[in-house]
Amino acid sequence: MGPEGAEAWYGAYLAEEGHKASTIKTRKAFLRSFLRWLKDSGIQDLTNVTRKDLEDYARHLRAATSSRTQKAYQPNTLRSLWLAAVGLMTALVEAEEVGAQSWPVKLIRGNQEPLPTILSEADIVAVLEGIDTRTTGGRRDRAVYELIYSAGLRVSEATKLKWEDVNLEDRLASIRQSKFDKDRVVPLTHEAVEMLRRHLAG
């Protein structure tokens, strides 16, 4: 998919997700800055967008000025422009239009440069392995973190998950009334299943 078709695609995606027309219009407007930047940077295929590209776009936003005021963007505008880019790439990953990558998800505010905070795979492994699974609480925490990381669950989804919604044999979990009250089924990794079994055993 090229930048020229991304705006319409994202609008359709947001509509399917249940967003209001006014919200969709606003997000698409903020997205145009990112799409222009992609074209100016010579990126014609969104599957080629990398983490570095998004970091470069964050730096571009920090140095850019508003065409209306000729001044640097206000923090709230910077955040909206940034989140529009991240929102598009996240949607493309969720729709399996592009491969999953560690996309930046946070804009740093204040006088710092608006670069994303990202945990590397090594950082995540260190966090998981740092949990003491010799205790009941540790096994519970490790199981929850494995679910969040490997199945892409929101914290609220992981904490509300019931045992009857988990199929350890088939390595599947049914997520009830998640975003926009929709249900979905997610696969579980072997590591998540193992930690759930250990947690269940007490």
Those residues of the chain that have pLDDT short of 50 are: 102, 104-115
Read off the pLDDT of residues 81-119 as tens digits, 9 standing for 90 and up: 888 888 888 887 777 766 655 454 443 333 344 445 555
pTM score above 0.75: no
Read off the pLDDT of residues 63-86 as tens digits, 9 standing for 90 and up: 887 777 778 878 778 888 888 888
User: Which residues does residue 174 pair with via DSSP β-bridges, in sequence order?
Assistant: 185
CA–CA dist 46, 197 (Å, integer)? 40
Edge-to-edge, what's the strand order for the sheet holding 166-167?
Answer: 166-167, 172-175, 184-187
CA–CA dist 133, 130 (Å, integer)? 9
